[in-house]
Structure 1
Amino acid sequence: MKQYLNDFLNGQLIILKQMASSDLDEFIKVENEKSTLLLANDDIPFPHTVEDHTSFFQNISGKKQEFFFGIFEKTTQQFIGSCGVYAINWTNSTCSVGISISEKWHGKGLGTDAMQTLITFIFNYIAINKIKLQVFSFNLGAIRSYEKCGFTKEGTLRNEIFRFGKFHDIIVFGLLREEWLSRS
């Protein structure tokens, strides 16, 4: 039991922790990076103000029906991104997830490890049967990561996002509890 408690929200490469106000500056840096604005948000890719991020940061920490974590590199304890569980539907036992990783940490497996740790948290501690997410069709690294985590493509929202001067699809993925259990 003691080892199980030590491994709580610890991945192989990362640790998920509730963010503190001291993490706000690093959070703002990651959220305003070009890659985050283009790959992790369907708004017009325009940097948000410090006030926008501060307001979001304060609002999310007060919500009891959402879970928002900072992602910290395990060895250095450096803040590298964030992830969260939102849109929890207790009636149908579903939720959505999202993740954002600083571009200097892309391609190193940390996002996959963070998502796997988040999935484990959800299926072990929340009465959820299905996790959903959406990803832009041009975000090939994220798509590979989600597939490694066991997500299955469920559909395509055609011409749903405007980036780089043209419309692109959004791919909808899902992961069922039974699928996750069969992989564990």
Structure 2
Amino acid sequence: MVGVNAFPILRTDRLILRQVTKEDASSLLNYLSNEDVMKHIGLEPFKSIDDALDEISWYQSIFEKKTGIRWGITLKDQGEVIGSCGFLNLVSKHYRSEVGIELSEEHWGKGIASEALEAVIKYGFEQMNLQRIEALIEPPNLPSQKLVERQGFIREGLLRSYEFTVGKFDDLYMYSLLKQDFNIKQ
């Protein structure tokens, strides 16, 4: 990520996307302990504050190593983290990264995920100079498929037994969005 030293804050109409800190651990535990939220993420539901602190450490490490960046999603009028969105598996040499998002169940169906994802995608193309953003989504996860399709992502194919998570092999759909496709959408 060229030129990224201080953690960037993203603002939308309703949201502030900011760095997640240790003080946010109980908020993360609140939604990452929910089985429905975790169903398609490839992790067991969190059981303790230590699980949340480990997740926050991972967010910090990918930012420091420049292999990704993960924002906490907050509503403008509240400070509590209600989800996260960002890039992982950044390959600077090839100008590509994966994007991921999860949101507290109580905020599903309100357009928050779409608003956050759009801001993150825009940042990826405009500030990180990405050419390609990928989303890997389990076939049963229809809401996430619809979410990325609304942003203009194209389903490229099925990656069979692509990941081994929570004791099983998972197939994943590969979606991509190219910079020129996003610019057309704008």
TM norm structure 2: 0.82
Q: Which residue does the alignment assign to 2:38?
A: 37
Measure how far apart 1:169 and its partner are: 3.9
Measure how far apart 1:60 and its partner are: 2.4
List gaps (5 residues or longer) in structure 1.
Answer: 1-7
Moved more, 88-97 or 51-60: 51-60
Moved more, 29-38 or 93-102: 29-38
The aligned amino acid for 2:93 is: T
The question of whether the paired residues in 1 share the 8 Å contact of 2:74 and 2:80 is answered with yes
The question of whether the paired residues in 2 share the 8 Å contact of 1:137 and 1:168 is answered with no
SS at match of 1:28: helix
Root mean square deviation of aligned Cα:
2.3
The question of whether the paired residues in 1 share the 8 Å contact of 2:27 and 2:80 is answered with no
The question of whether the paired residues in 1 share the 8 Å contact of 2:26 and 2:52 is answered with no
Measure how far apart 1:158 and its partner are: 3.6
CA 1:58 to 1:167, structure 2 compared with 1: closer, same or farther past 3 Å?
closer
Measure how far apart 1:143 and its partner are: 1.1
Measure how far apart 1:48 and its partner are: 4.5
SS at match of 1:91: helix
The question of whether the paired residues in 2 share the 8 Å contact of 1:161 and 1:168 is answered with yes
Q: Distance in 2 between matches of 1:26 and 1:183?
A: 34
Q: Which residue does the alignment assign to 1:3?
A: none
What's the CA shift string for 1:88-142, capped at 9, x where partnerless?
Answer: 1111111011111001111111001110010011111102100001111111111
The question of whether the paired residues in 2 share the 8 Å contact of 1:81 and 1:101 is answered with yes
The question of whether the paired residues in 1 share the 8 Å contact of 2:32 and 2:45 is answered with no
Moved more, 98-107 or 59-68: 59-68
Q: Distance in 1 between matches of 2:157 and 2:140?
A: 15
Q: Distance in 2 between matches of 1:60 and 1:175?
A: 23
Measure how far apart 1:21 and its partner are: 2.1
CA 1:56 to 1:47, structure 2 compared with 1: closer, same or farther past 3 Å?
closer
Instruction: Provide the aligned length of Structure 1 versus Structure 2.
Output: 173
Q: Which residue does the alignment assign to 2:110?
A: 108
Q: Distance in 2 between matches of 1:84 and 1:146?
A: 13
Q: Distance in 2 between matches of 1:18 and 1:75?
A: 17
The question of whether the paired residues in 2 share the 8 Å contact of 1:82 and 1:101 is answered with yes
Measure how far apart 1:171 and its partner are: 1.2
Q: Which residue does the alignment assign to 1:58?
A: 57
Q: Distance in 1 between matches of 2:58 and 2:144?
A: 27
Matches within 5 A, 1:63-142: 63-64=63-64, 65=66, 66-142=68-144
The aligned amino acid for 2:100 is: G
Measure how far apart 1:85 and its partner are: 0.9
TM norm structure 1: 0.83
Q: Which residue does the alignment assign to 2:24?
A: 23
Measure how far apart 1:161 and its partner are: 7.2
SS at match of 1:95: strand
Q: Which residue does the alignment assign to 1:146?
A: 148
